Amino acid sequence: MVLNSLSLFRALLFLSLATSAFSMRPYKEGLTPYFYDYVCPQALPAIKRVVEAAVQQERRMGASLLRLHFHDCLVNGCDGSILLDPTPTIDSEKLAFPNNNSARGFEVIDQIKAEVDRACGRPVVSCADILAITARDSVVALGGPSWKVQLGRRDSTTASRTTANSDIPAPNMDLPALVSNFERQGLKVKDLVALSGAHTIGFAQCFTFRNRIFNDSNIDQALAKNLQSYCPRTGNDANLASLDPTPARFDTLYYNNLLTQKGLLHSDQALSTGESALELVKSYSYNYEAFWKDFAKSMIRMGNIKPLIGNQGQIRSNCRRVN
Ligand code: HEM
Ligand SMILES: *[C@@H]1O[C@H](CO)[C@@H](O)[C@H](O)[C@H]1NC(C)=O
Ligand SMILES: *[C@@H]1O[C@H](CO)[C@@H](O)[C@H](O)[C@H]1NC(C)=O
């Protein structure tokens, strides 16, 4: 009798656990900052710990991780597609021109995924959400603003190198091309100017700014001369120059630099060539609070690009391949 009621208790317990597992189905309404609050409250702290350790070990990693989220979102939405390795059926975005020998931080994402799955006991956090949270934590780790990350994205089962090549903006673009590139993603001039402020951290390789330092006229002559010796007409393609004078600090110097024609990329300096963009550049240059507020807002807007939700896609157990 006692035994029987015990096993009945066990059966009920099992049933209620099973039901709560079923009620953990994907959120259908869109993204929410509270998505993992009940499913796995340990998830966000676990991610933050790994990001902080990685950035402490190498400051540049914060920049590289922020860029991964951008390159993920611009290619068929924020769906973790950039993380898929090439296979006979996966047209890996890692091999697209903007990413090949340029996108980095994939090992840190693997480490975060392992940690967060261990903390949660099973794979409940999508790779797309990991990229979004990691971008925010990276910005915070380098002294920038914080924001509530919208969550509940699911992971793609496909990737597209072709779309990565066509949709990720190129450093030789002029302002109209940048504006229309962002417009196609539902982003406005303000998002373009605020999000380009991400170039307040990190580095670029010589081949991405060579044309600018030899051919552009809207460049500070001393800066051009300096860079030309470091990045000659041929060779040294992978030499790194910082995108602003303080590449490990999320400050406003990126914008100050643009006002004195010291932008590193042609696309950076292009923001000073149109009236409405230039007004924003000026205001961000002397008002870090305005920059921070708009950057955070635009990161949320970028993070909302075409997420997979509900029963779409999957939660990958390894970010590098589909389940
Ligand atoms: C507006 C158009 C943009 C263009 C044309 C552009 C282009 C580039 C290029 C060419 C590099 C250097 C890559 C290399 O040399 O390997 C770079 C670096 C970087 N980009 Fe952008 N970018 C743009 C917008 C953004 C946005 C919106 C973000 C993030 C919100 C971002 C984040 C970064 C970061 C953090 C780095 C440094 C990465 C590192 O040091 O590893 N970029 N970008
Ligand atoms: C990517 O980079 C590797 C190594 O430099 C190079 O061999 C390969 O051809 C590149 N792939 C593409 C698709 O450009
Ligand atoms: C500068 O522009 C000329 C003419 O368009 C081009 O031939 C040359 O390759 C450019 N130089 C660099 C270093 O990109």
On the question of pLDDT at 2 being above 50, the answer is no
- Asked if residue 142 lies in contact with residue 242, where contact means CB atoms within 8 angstroms, the answer is no
The one-letter code for the residue type at 172 is: N
Helix/strand/coil for 69: helix
* CA dist 185 → 92, 168, 210, 243, 269 (Å): 21, 11, 28, 24, 22
Fold of 30-168: Peroxidase; domain 1 (1.10.520)
Nearest to 214 by CA among 238, 231, 239, 236: 231
Query: In whole angstroms, what separates CA 113 from the centre of its chain?
Result: 16
Residue spans of the domains in the chain: they are 30-168, 175-301
Distance 171 CA to ligand 3 centre (A): 15
Query: In whole angstroms, what separates CA 61 from the centre of its chain?
Result: 12
Residue 306 structure tokens: 């075409």
Atom number of ligand 2 nearest to Cα 100 = 1
Residue 96 structure tokens: 């697209």
Element (H, E) at 56: helix 43-57
Q: Candidates 70, 107, 179: which one to mutate for ligand 1, based on the most atoms within 8 Å of Cβ?
A: 70
pLDDT, one tens digit per residue, over 287-315 is 999 999 999 999 999 999 999 999 999 99
Query: In whole angstroms, what separates CA 80 from the centre of its chain?
Result: 10
- Asked if residue 245 lies in contact with residue 255, where contact means CB atoms within 8 angstroms, the answer is no
* Vertex 178 angle, CA 174 and 184, to 5°: 150
Q: How far apart are CA 222 and CA 25, in angstroms?
A: 58
Residue 124 structure tokens: 């409940």
- Asked if residue 231 lies in contact with residue 213, where contact means CB atoms within 8 angstroms, the answer is yes
- Asked if residue 97 lies in contact with residue 103, where contact means CB atoms within 8 angstroms, the answer is no
Q: What is the pLDDT at residue 28?
A: 53
- The answer, yes or no, to whether any atom of ligand 2 lies below 6 A from the CB of 101, is yes
Helix/strand/coil for 10: helix
Strands (E), 139-212: 203-205
Q: What per-residue string of b and e applies to 106-120 under the rule 16 or more CB within 10 Å gives b?
A: bebbeebbebbbebb
Helix/strand/coil for 5: helix
Q: What is the pLDDT at residue 23?
A: 43
* Vertex 254 angle, CA 212 and 131, to 5°: 100
pLDDT, one tens digit per residue, over 54-77 is 999 999 999 999 999 999 999 999
Query: In whole angstroms, what separates CA 295 from the centre of its chain?
Result: 13
Token pair 């973790």 in the structure block, residue:
80
Residues with a known catalytic role: 71
Q: What is the pLDDT at residue 51?
A: 98
Pocket of ligand 3 (CB under 6 A): 210-211, 214-215, 233
Q: How far apart are CA 192 and CA 198, in angstroms?
A: 10
Q: What is the pLDDT at residue 21?
A: 42
Q: How far apart are CA 232 and CA 235, in angstroms?
A: 7
Element (H, E) at 204: strand 203-205
CATH homologous superfamily for 175-301? Peroxidase, domain 2 (1.10.420.10)
**Model's pTM, two decimal places?**
0.92
- The answer, yes or no, to whether any atom of ligand 2 lies below 6 A from the CB of 162, is no
Confidence grade of residue 30 (pLDDT, cut at 50, 70, 90):
confident
Q: How far apart are CA 95 and CA 108, in angstroms?
A: 19
Residue nearest atom 7 in ligand 1 by C-alpha distance: 171
- Cβ contacts of residue 259 below 8 Å, gap of 6+? 272, 281, 282, 285
pLDDT, one tens digit per residue, over 75-132 is 999 999 999 999 999 999 999 999 999 999 999 999 999 999 999 999 999 999 999 9
Q: How far apart are CA 283 and CA 285, in angstroms?
A: 5
Q: Candidates 206, 208, 210, 211: which one to mutate for ligand 3, based on the most atoms within 8 Å of Cβ?
A: 211
Residue nearest atom 33 in ligand 1 by C-alpha distance: 67
